[in-house]
Structure 1
Amino acid sequence: MRISEADSGDVAGLARLLWVNAHGEEPTRPPDTFAGELARWWADRPGSHLAYVARLDPPELVGMAWVALVPRVPRPGNLGRMSADIQTVFVLPEHRGRGIGSALVDAAAEHAIRLGALHVTVHSGHRAVPVYERLGFASSPQLLQRSPD
């Protein structure tokens, strides 16, 4: 298995993973239609959303983790402040339990930190919290959330 940053040649595989992840939860377009939509969406966000992918031989995508890089208001002496958020981590069910998701999250978070992110957040389901904690994520009393009513 190889973990690498995705590029435009991975859009069809990413679309397939996103489609499998969402299938049955919300209305979805066919995977080939969605691939074109994803390509346009990603092209409109250069540098703000990166994807890391897990590949097997042959180079089939079996997992992904996205990281959104969010510019922050500058401060005197620090014009390039940013934070990052891990989003849409998914591994095909038949490949789970092998550390692929952890490797993807670790690669995405480390990349964001190398780019200068002041912090990396994740919104997790209950079952995945221990995984994120093993990867160095911790709860923070200063990180608050407001949901729509």
Structure 2
Amino acid sequence: MRISEATGDDVVGLARLLWMHNSDEEPAQRSLDEFAVELEQWWAARDGTHVAYVARLDGAELVGMAWVALVPRVPRPGTTTRMSADIQSVYVTPDVRGHGIGSALVEAATEHALRLGALRVTVHSGRKAVPVYERLGFESSRQLLQQPPATV
């Protein structure tokens, strides 16, 4: 397994993984190729704030991803470079799950954020993945609150 920071050459593979990751949430309104073009544009507009890490086995095909969003925080006296980070869209293809790929991706994304000076790294996880994040050192926090989505 090889974990690396994604490059522009990985956009089609990232689009495929995002497509697979969200395939059961909502019906696609466009083709995978159209989505790849949109993802490339979205990512280019967020250069420096969103970084993806990818996993490969033996070949060039991506089998996993983890994104980290870097969020500048309001300055405080004594520091104007505060930052937080959020791990997002972690996904490993079903055929290779259970081999530590997801954990390695989360560790790489977390290390990237901390290396850049993030004060904290958060993740919004599905219930089944909570034990994985806890093994990686993430803890639940009573202070981290969220506003639920508005119901229409």
Same fold (TM over 0.5): yes
Please list the CA deviations of residues 14-54 of structure 1 after superposition, one character each: whole Å capped at 9, or x if unmatched.
00000111113212221111110000000011111000000
Residue type matched to 1:8 in 2? G
Aligned-partner Cα distance in 1 for 2:133–2:57: 23
Question: Which residue of 2 is the match for residue 75 of structure 1?
Answer: 76
- TM-score, normalised relative to structure 2: 0.95
Unmatched runs of 5 consecutive residues or more in structure 2 = none
Matches within 5 A, 1:1-149: 1-28=1-28, 29-149=30-150
Residue 59 (structure 1) shift: 1.4
Aligned-partner Cα distance in 1 for 2:142–2:21: 31
Aligned-partner Cα distance in 2 for 1:17–1:126: 21
Residue 125 (structure 1) shift: 0.8
Aligned-partner Cα distance in 2 for 1:90–1:148: 23
Please list the CA deviations of residues 64-110 of structure 1 after superposition, one character each: whole Å capped at 9, or x if unmatched.
00000000001122111010000000000001010000000011011
Superposed CA RMSD: 0.9
Residue 143 (structure 1) shift: 1.2
Q: Percent identity?
A: 72
Aligned-partner Cα distance in 2 for 1:57–1:74: 44
Unmatched runs of 5 consecutive residues or more in structure 1 = none
- Give the match's secondary structure for 1:50: strand
Aligned-partner Cα distance in 1 for 2:95–2:2: 17
- Give the match's secondary structure for 1:118: coil
